[in-house]
Amino acid sequence: MPFHPYLFFVGNCREAMTAYQDIFGGHLDIVTAAEMPDSPPGAPSDSVMHAALTLDTGGILMASDDPSATEAGPKVGISVSMTAASPDDAARIFKGLSEGGDVQLPMGATSWSPAFGMCTDRFGIPWMVGTNPTE
């Protein structure tokens, strides 16, 4: 049974998901409040009610703007963890995610991965990026 992260943003979901599409590739679908007949009362017409980034590898990253939120970033201890196909791919993805954000652990070799790093991106989302060991 796969799990699919669902991220909440404070008015910048479209910007974040477009940035993630630039980093990860894939196909991005966005539905705004104006396009939903049952959107929350008072929601700005351009706010994102649902976004889905479907990756070529089959993964899905979903998100929306949260009209009740007052600050960016998760309120509990979480990180979105992703496994890249290779150390070079992990480094490329980590560079894109950490640009304008905060690096907690620079990309490098660990005892469990030839390439692993942790950062919080410029949208307040914590990430763990790594790759599987080569056999």
Segment 118-121 long-range contacts (CB within 8 Å, at least 24 positions apart): 118/79, 119/94, 120/73, 121/16, 121/19, 121/97
Query: Considering the entire predicted model, what is its pTM?
Result: 0.89
Annotated domain spans of the chain: 6-65, 80-131
Q: Which CATH architecture has domain 6-65?
A: Roll (3.10)
Question: pLDDT at position 45, please?
Answer: 87
CATH class of 80-131: alpha beta
Can you spell out the DSSP letters for 62-80?
EEEE-TT--SSS-SSS--E
Question: pLDDT at position 73, please?
Answer: 66
pLDDT, averaged per 10 consecutive residues of the chain (135 residues), comes to 87 96 97 87 87 94 84 76 95 98 97 96 95 82
